[in-house]
Chain A
């Protein structure tokens, strides 16, 4: 199964943009890149996903490298409510949903 690599933790000042990186060098051509975030003692929440092109929604933007071996989740203005663990996963099938340890984002007021 294709895996992802993310930094264990990152910090951001409130109202600053945040760029969360993810490496997925073994991605296959049909794998979608999904991002979820999780608050303590809660289930993960969907953030965004994409295949090849950059994607935008009300929560965030997803920038995908041209070779698809890496991607970046962009939070345009971090708020305290954005403090969470962010998971980058590759979805290549119903059972191909590997959640690693993610990146713990701390937002500093």
Chain B
């Protein structure tokens, strides 16, 4: 089945630790996105990538880093600089970054701080 796979579903981070969230898609999509969702809130854009080896900061990129070395993969690292990392993280993709393209979302990773 085509789709987006996020792993792990739950992740715990210790103080001062970097953690990496995985996002893989087999839809052959060029564009990929990372969003953060806090309880009862909407989604906020962290980073996005419209093509391999290129990515751009979204609205809340501080404390996060990404890479896009392969078309199908867009991992997100939550660094120790992110002081409030507890949230639900969602990865999405679209065929291109065009405004007429619909987004496909993964099932999310819940990150909590120990």
Among B41, B50, B99, B110, which residue has its beta carbon within 8 angstroms of that of A91? B99
Closest A residue to B108 by CB, please name it: A43
Known contacts A94-B31, A97-B33; is-contact A49 B43 (Cβ 8 Å): no
Interface size class of B (residues with CB under 8 A): 20 to 34
Q: What interface size band does chain A fall in?
A: 20 to 34
Q: Given that A94-B48, A97-B45 are known contacts, is A30 also in contact with B102, CB under 8 Å in the complex?
A: no
Is A99 a contact of B43 with CB atoms below 8 Å?
A: yes
- Nearest Cβ on chain A to B59's Cβ, whole angstroms: 8
> What residues of A have a CB within 8 angstroms of the CB of B100 in the complex?
32, 49, 51, 91
| B-contacting 9-mer, from A11-19, A34-42, A66-74 | A34-42
Provide the bound-state CA to CA distance between A2 and B105, in Å. Answer: 22
SS class, residues of chain A in contact with chain B: loop
Contact B45 A44 (CB under 8 A): no
Complex CA gap A94/B32 in Å reads 9
Q: Is the CB of A97 within 8 A of B103?
A: yes
Q: Is the CB of A92 within 8 A of B99?
A: yes
Question: Smallest distance from the beta carbon of B65 to chain A beta carbons, Å?
Answer: 17
**A92: which B residues are within 8 A, CB to CB?**
99
CA A102 to CA B41, docked complex, whole Å: 9
Partner of A36 from the list B97, B103, B106 (CB cut-off 8 Å) is B103
Within 8 Å by CB of A100, from B4, B42, B56, B58, lies B42
Write out the residue numbers on chain B whose beta carbons fall within 8 Å of the beta carbon of A99: 35, 42-44
A6 to chain B, nearest CB (A): 10
Whether B103 lies near A41 (C-beta < 8 A) is no
Output the least CB separation between A22 and chain B (Å). Answer: 13
B69-109: which residues lie under 8 A (CB-CB) from chain A?
88, 90, 92, 97-100, 102-108
Binding site for B on A (CB under 8 A): 30-32, 34, 36, 41-46, 49, 51, 87, 91-102
Known: A43-B92, A46-B104. 5 other contacts (CB 8 A): A34-B102, A36-B105, A44-B92, A46-B102, A99-B42
